[in-house]
Amino acid sequence: MTSKQLYWTDAHFCGLRSQTNVYGLSKITSHDGLTRLLAVSIDGHFITVEYQKSFDNRLIPITREDEFFMASGLHGPDTVEDLEIVSVDMIYQDRNKRDIILAVTYLKLAPPFQEKAPSAYMNIYFLVAQKDSHINLMDAGAMSQIQPIMLDYFPLKLMHYQVDMDQGQAETCFILSGNDNKIHVYSQGKNMLEFFEDQAMVENYFPEFLDVNGCVTQMEFKKLDSTRRLTALGVQSGLVTLFLVNTVAHQILKKLETDMDSSITSIQLFSHQVTAPRPDFLVTPDDSPSENVSSEKHMDEPVNMLITSAIDPAVVFCDVLESDLTKRHVLPLSNSQDVVLCSCIMDIDFDGENEILIGTYGQVLQGTS
Amino acid sequence: MRTVSFVDRIELEFHGNVITQTMVLEDIDNDMGNELIVGNIDGDISIFKGESPNAWKKATISGMLTCLAVGKVHIPKKNSLVCMTAEGWCYMFDVSSKTSAQSVSAAEDDSDSRLLKPVFSQELPANAKVMCLADIDSDDHIEMVIGYSDRVVRAFRWHETPNSDTGQFVLLQKWQLAGQIGSITINYNHDHQPQLMVSQPGATFVTLQVKPAFRHIKSDSYLDRLCGSGSNVKSTLERSESFASVGGRGVDSSCGEYQQPSSRNHSPRGQQSSSVRKSELCASKSDILSTSTTPVSAMPVDPFLSQGDQLLKTYKETMKMMERHSVSRDKPEASSRLCKSESFCDQVDKLTTEGESNTEQDRTSGNSGARLPLTLKSSMEGLESDPLMGSGAQGSPHRSNTPTSSPKGSQESILERSLGCINNILDGSFDDDVFKPSIIYHPLALMQMRNKDTSTVIVGGINRGRPSQSGNGVEEAKPGATYYALATLDGSLLLVENDSILWSLQVDNYLFALSKLDVTGNGKEEVVCCSWNGQTYIVNHSKEIVRYQFPDSVAAFCAGSFSLRDGCNTPCFVYATFNNRIYVYPNIALPRVESTNLLNVMGRLPESRELLGKLNIAEDDVDSIRRLYHYCLYGQPGKK
């Protein structure tokens, strides 16, 4: 615990009209450092939060709320009551970070008297960037192209990952876990805009996805270096599996498991220290070797894993690679405030070391260093 | 618009209807820490201190409590609580700091020690609506300025009774306004002289001038002098007085108030019986003055209520006449002043001799002195005698003879409205130093207002920034002018300096409560405005806005300093809701009002520019600067 008293004030605040779930928030950062947030409530209200600059160079927080995404869906004029948003994610289409691709998974609920199971969909929106790169997400969404994908399973966590292809290129794909105990990968076809479910990619690049036994509620990836990747998968039963994968040979090097007794709400893979590269204009000839050493050191830094689950307190496993999940630390007081729903790793006090923030259903945010 | 959410709050239980005028954050027990004083319209008053959810002190007064204020009224350097009821009773409470320590530590259920008893009460004119305790004339004494729902503003001063440790409020001056009064405030001009401002409908306000002659009344002797120096001019003068700017009614009362102690001779007026009864009541209740006052609230009764139409007619005629006379515009005014001043003394005479009580006497009019040649007066005569010819010719003489008790309200209002209008016209055209108008109307942006009758509140004395944080502000000498802000119920918010609008803001909420509070701690006071549905706006001097949505309907709102722990005041918001709860938000301090980022903040520092220059980074090289800051903040593990 830090002895320093941190005093936070709201930079901006906006209330949600109805509740959201643990998958309902997405952020995207543009090439010029502008971060936009998209929050989606279960009943289909999209809320974007972004900053715009006024003519006199003041920052103006802009919050916009709309439900147009659903109204423009393919499957007829849906009313909001029929929908339940599950998860949302945003990626940039290209390296220039101009065009945004937004993916939303949702359930379409049949009217109660029909007694039919809901049907699941994923809509992918291609937001076309305008000349003005600061276009509001809402405006872009209204003009977007839509690709609806029908899902034969109920979607859960939706995220994206940049896969290093064998040909040396990188491709960003959406990864979606489902209640069919599988993890699905959606990638863009070559020279195509549309996304399709890419089973070949799962087999070629994500060998760990073939080894899932349970309904995956959370997953997390961390690239250790150019050849190794850590993948943590948490399932509904509370089992967390940690894979060390060779990303060149596409083999599982190591598989570790731990059981948490309740559904996994979030997983974080992080190192203790923050890596911030020294800008090149600060590098002087005489200390550049040491700089290299320190960057090497960053690579070797032990990786810790934070697991929060519905009932149990938050747990941190230190140095998961070397200690094989034996160094287990329970975060003090982390079960004092209802269910821990989310977590974040951040250096909040600028000491170069990461702190753990956990958010609880009791609306209390706790920080631990 | 930037929005914030305040989470920490203290929930207080307080039953009854609370209005904004009866909720104040002030240091009531003189321990340097502010308390929250809340009253409901049933007369229950509770004082909340610290973090405790229970009332620290309680009091109950009879009548409909409409105003609460705290100020150093009757004891120097000691704050007292002053309460006004709609019926006109003024109660004063002293809360000693000695008992405060005791009752905080012990005796939680000791209800006796918590119950406050008024140390003083006095009957003043009824229908008090808003109150302001401030030193309006720079004499280091706090005056009590009360705005009434009948569009009158009266200023009272605490007057110590010789050879006694008590005293009473005596009327200093009275102003009759044309529009409903929203709130009264004090603002400071460039010379740091206080200006009394009263908001008027349609985001306008008037400044009320305090008569210099009354700035230095220290004893009765001056009054005695005044009373003794009657003049011969009678009827014309008293009529003219009623016409003049500050004119109005209730003068009889004020006059009587001053008058009684010096001249025993009670007015043999029609309602004397009632007056005696009332004064007895006063005496028994307040145990201050055996000579206690004529009935202050006993309105003179008019026997000619049916003359309203005639009055209107005559008023119109007057207006025509005014136009004719406009060649020598200042003359009427001047003479009216003169008339007033003389007629005051005159009036006093009359009160003691004839018992004439219906005259529209202005007791505050002693400023100009009888310096004008009579020609001016005569030039005014025709003009001024007209509007009140009805009352003057018929009312007054008949009055003493036939004291019927017909209510005077409607006629009075017509009369007063006409007076107010004329006053404004006269005042606007008048700039002589000697005959300074007593009411100056400031239309501001009236022409742009959506609704010209919308009720308006004003707050003045908004500190525009000093190195140190501002305190109460009245007693410490602050150089320079202050801003003032106006808010209307239809959602306009203005910040004004010296009649020029610095910014204006239009929102879609009913703004009803306006405060000033230094939320950021930088010495500049922000304007805090609250609407009925809980939307609260914090706006700084450069029109940057922070919003907070209080999650309930708001009955009353105030922003100020509150002491959670001993003597340590923190800015806070207080919301009274309609379901018997009051919420205190003690943790509302913000580092800044505007939205900003690190690049902007650093860019404003001269040192950072210097350092960037040393690193050969151009100021517009945002990418490099961003990387540099990122490295400085995160790139040095273990730097602490």
Helix (H, G, I), strand (E, B) or coil at B345: helix
Helix (H, G, I), strand (E, B) or coil at B30: coil
Contact list in A for residue B591 (CB cut-off 8 A) is: 9
Q: Is B613 at the interface with chain A, CB within 8 A? A: no
CA distance B320 to B315: 9
In chain B, domain spans: 214-437, 598-634
Q: Is B312 at the interface with chain A, CB within 8 A? A: no
Place of tokens 């406009």: B326
CB–CB of B3 and A13 under 8 A? yes
What pLDDT does residue B527 have? 92
In the structure, what pLDDT confidence band is assigned to residue B485 with cuts at 50, 70 and 90?
very high
What pLDDT does residue A276 have? 72
Which domains, and CATH codes, for chain A? Answer: 16-205 (no CATH), 213-369 (2.130.10.10)
Q: Using beta carbons and an 8 Å cutoff, which residues of A are at the interface with B? A: 9-15, 32-33, 51, 57-61, 63, 273-279, 281-282, 347, 350-353, 363
Helix (H, G, I), strand (E, B) or coil at B552: coil
In the structure, what pLDDT confidence band is assigned to residue B479 with cuts at 50, 70 and 90?
low
Q: Is B218 at the interface with chain A, CB within 8 A? A: no
CB–CB of B631 and A61 under 8 A? no
Q: Is pLDDT of B234 > 80?
A: no
Digit-coded pLDDT (tens) for B356-392: 334 334 443 333 333 334 333 434 443 433 333 333 3
Pair B564, B570: CB distance under 8 Å = yes
Out of A58, A276, A281, closest to residue B635 by CB: A276
CB–CB of A279 and B594 under 8 A? no
Digit-coded pLDDT (tens) for B410-439: 555 555 555 555 555 444 444 444 455 688
> DSSP string spanning B98-162?
HHHHHHHHS-SS-HHHHB---SEEEE--S-EEEEEEE-SSSSSS-EEEEEETTSEEEEEEEEEPT
| Max mean pLDDT range (A269-283, B561-575, B599-613) | B561-575
Residue of A nearest to B520 (CA): A9
Q: Counting Cβ atoms within 10 Å, is residue B247 exposed (0-12), middle (13-18) or buried (19+)?
A: buried
Please name which of A160, A138, A145, A149 lies closest in space to residue A193, comparing C-alpha atoms: A145
Please name which of B347, B366, B253 lies closest in space to residue B300, comparing C-alpha atoms: B253
Out of B591, B594, B634, closest to residue A58 by CB: B594
Q: Counting Cβ atoms within 10 Å, is residue B599 exposed (0-12), middle (13-18) or buried (19+)?
A: middle
Contact list in A for residue B630 (CB cut-off 8 A) is: 276
CB–CB of B638 and A351 under 8 A? yes
Substitution target in A6, A62, A274 with the highest count of B β-carbons within 10 Å is A274
What pLDDT does residue A193 have? 78
Q: Hey, CA dihedral for B94, B96, B101, B103, is it positive or negative? A: negative
CB–CB of A11 and B634 under 8 A? no
CA distance B496 to A198: 65
Pair B432, B329: CB distance under 8 Å = no
Q: Is B594 at the interface with chain A, CB within 8 A? A: yes
CA distance B174 to B64: 23
Digit-coded pLDDT (tens) for B69-106: 999 888 888 888 999 999 999 999 988 766 544 444 44
Contact list in B for residue A277 (CB cut-off 8 A) is: 627, 631, 635
Sheet of A100-108: strand order equals A83-92, A100-108, A119-127, A145-151
For chain B, the first-to-last Cα distance in angstroms comes to 37
Please name which of B303, B305, B307, B296 lies closest in space to residue B401, comparing C-alpha atoms: B303
Pair B293, B159: CB distance under 8 Å = no
Pair A234, A186: CB distance under 8 Å = no
Digit-coded pLDDT (tens) for B142-183: 889 999 999 999 999 888 887 777 888 888 888 999 889 999
pLDDT by residue for chain A (369 residues), tens digit each? Answer: 344 566 778 888 888 888 888 898 888 887 777 788 888 888 878 888 888 877 777 888 888 887 755 544 444 444 445 788 899 898 887 776 777 888 889 888 877 777 778 888 888 888 876 655 556 677 777 677 888 888 889 999 999 998 887 777 788 889 999 888 889 999 887 777 788 888 888 888 888 888 888 899 999 999 888 888 899 999 999 899 999 988 888 888 888 888 888 889 999 998 887 777 777 776 655 554 444 444 444 556 788 899 998 888 888 888 888 888 888 888 887 777 788 888 888 888 777 778 888 888 765 666 555
Distances (CA, A) of A313 to A97, A308, A338, B134: 38, 7, 10, 58
Distances (CA, A) of B517 to A293, A297, B52, B78: 53, 51, 23, 23
Digit-coded pLDDT (tens) for B433-461: 445 568 888 888 777 777 888 899 999 98
What pLDDT does residue A11 have? 85
For residue B498, the tally of other CB atoms under 10 A from its CB is: 13
How large is the average pLDDT for residues B543-554?
91
Out of A9, A279, A353, closest to residue B590 by CB: A9
Residue of A nearest to B590 (CA): A9
Helix (H, G, I), strand (E, B) or coil at B438: coil
> Model ipTM?
0.79
Contact list in B for residue A32 (CB cut-off 8 A) is: 622
Helix and strand element counts for chain B (H, E): 15, 29
CB–CB of B634 and A347 under 8 A? yes
How large is the average pLDDT for residues B326-349?
43
What pLDDT does residue B314 have? 54
What pLDDT does residue B231 have? 39
Contact list in B for residue A14 (CB cut-off 8 A) is: 3
CB–CB of B595 and A14 under 8 A? no
**How near does any CA of chain A get to the CA of B472, in Å?**
26
Q: Is pLDDT of B303 > 70?
A: no
Digit-coded pLDDT (tens) for B172-226: 888 999 889 999 999 988 888 888 999 999 888 999 888 765 444 444 444 444 4
**How near does any CA of chain A get to the CA of B588, in Å?**
9
CB–CB of B635 and A12 under 8 A? no
For chain A, the first-to-last Cα distance in angstroms comes to 6
Residue type, B561: S
**How near does any CA of chain B get to the CA of A30, in Å?**
13
**How near does any CA of chain B get to the CA of A241, in Å?**
30
Pair A4, A107: CB distance under 8 Å = no
**How near does any CA of chain A get to the CA of B590, in Å?**
7
CA distance A112 to B133: 65
User: What H or E segment, with its residue span, contains residue A330?
Assistant: strand A328-330
Pair B524, B549: CB distance under 8 Å = no
- Beta partners for B364? none
Could you list the beta-strand ranges (E) of B519-635: 526-531, 535-539, 545-549, 556-565, 568-576, 581-585
**How near does any CA of chain B get to the CA of A300, in Å?**
15
Q: Counting Cβ atoms within 10 Å, is residue B22 exposed (0-12), middle (13-18) or buried (19+)?
A: buried
Contact list in B for residue A58 (CB cut-off 8 A) is: 544, 594-595
Please name which of B290, B257, B265 lies closest in space to residue B88, comparing C-alpha atoms: B257
Q: Is pLDDT of B306 > 70?
A: no
